[in-house]
Amino acid sequence: MNNRRVVITGMGIYSCLGKTLEEVKESLYTGKSGIIFDQARKDMGFRSALTAHLEIPDLKKELSRSQRVYMPEQAKYAYVATCEALKNAKLDQDYLDKHEVGLLYGNDSSADPVVKSVDTMREKKDTTLVGSGAIFQSMNSTVTMNLACIFKLKGMNLTVSGACASGSHAIGLGALLIKNGLQDMVICGGAQEVNPFSIGSFDGISAFSIRENDPTKASRPFDRDRDGLVPGGGAATVIIESYENAIKRGAPIIAEVLSYGFSSNGDHISVPNVAGPARSLEMALRLAGIDKKEIGYINAHATSTPKGDANEAKAIYQVFGDNMPEVTSTKSQTGHEMWMAGASEIIYSTLMMKNDFIGANINFENPDEDSARLNIPGKRIEKKFDTFLSNSFGFGGTNSTLIIRNL
């Protein structure tokens, strides 16, 4: 059962670029930015009021009140994304009822319900007023516990908590389960809350761009004049299964997960280095069994921070040298989607691959000495490519690299 092929058969997205795959594809093609200035954050004392713009979905028609009461905003995003992915994968509730379908979703915070619960306890001095849903909303595993119960899933069920690499690790770990015959199908993804409480501490360490006069120009990965990231969020769901299972049920096969590389920097808790990411890249290439010349596009982790982008550029150049494909960071459009990013960027890259284009690394106007060695298009290019590599890195030095091939 070892080394079974793993394929992607469904994708779903809820992001600042759109609420459906079609909307997101159009945004990627046109170079639309999802970044806004949020006055409410300024009123709260934020240094930067920049954020990706998302509406919390109203699920009153889709879910009962008893289901919704357990769901914080990121679980609602994940529900919408998962519904789209299941539909595209031609999966219905009857199939989920009769098979052991797994669930691995990236999430690394649930701040809003925690803050509100503590506020209630402090103000009212009565824990019963917190509400019956608070405990389930406030746990890191809130997304998987909600999705598993709503869709009545019977396979692997847990949350992957790996900072800003969470969504990527979820897909990689799901692929390992399938390769080794432990699951036939896994619903994977990543979700990120967008409320101010979730990222206030980031703002407190001056991690965010303060280019507030022109929000759409604020996220500028690899550009010489970048001054910090812009927070984003939403949810992205990727359904993966064994090739045999997909063929057996007549599923639409979108792409293949060729490999999953990973590493730990073993260094600073927030400042990335070069050696750790390079090892993750090299591991992914080795396990994929392909020459680096076959990689047609690299979706970089690059978040628009001075040190992070520079060190990733160094790592990419160290591994690829003169065999450099196009490199972009879709975070130039979305901001940093954090726990969601590793999953959403697989979807963004796959949409570009299936439609023969590479979206612009918007706001890339002047390279620095490191990014100048990469092949970064500042404008959209029409290009047919069949294999891409996607990086995701996180606090604590956790690194994940996925290689995906078109089918």
Handedness of CA 196, 165, 364, 371 (dihedral sign): positive
Predicted pLDDT of residue 68: 97
Give the residue among 112, 94, 197, 171 at the shortest CA–CA distance from 350.
171
Catalytic residue among 16, 169, 188, 301: 301
Predicted pLDDT of residue 210: 97
The CATH number of the structural domain formed by 6-248 is: 3.40.47.10
Predicted pLDDT of residue 13: 98
**Radius of gyration for the chain, computed over Cα atoms and rounded to the nearest angstrom:** 20
CA distances from 254 to 183, 286, 339, 351 (A): 19, 23, 24, 10
Domain parsing of the chain, residue ranges? 6-248, 261-406
pLDDT tens for each residue of 125-155: 999 999 999 999 999 999 999 999 999 999 9
Residue 354 in tokens = 């299936």
Q: What is the pTM of this model?
A: 0.97
What is the architecture, at CATH level 2, of domain 261-406?
3-Layer(aba) Sandwich (3.40)
In the predicted model, residues of the chain with pLDDT beneath 70 are: 1-2
Q: Would residue 301 show up in a list of annotated catalytic residues for this protein?
A: yes
Q: Do domains 6-248 and 261-406 have the same CATH topology?
A: yes
Catalytic residue among 16, 99, 164, 188: 164
pLDDT tens for each residue of 254-296: 999 999 999 999 999 998 999 999 999 999 999 999 999 999 9
Alpha helices in 219-300 (DSSP H): 243-248, 275-288
CA distances from 325 to 159, 298, 300, 328, 383 (A): 33, 7, 12, 10, 11
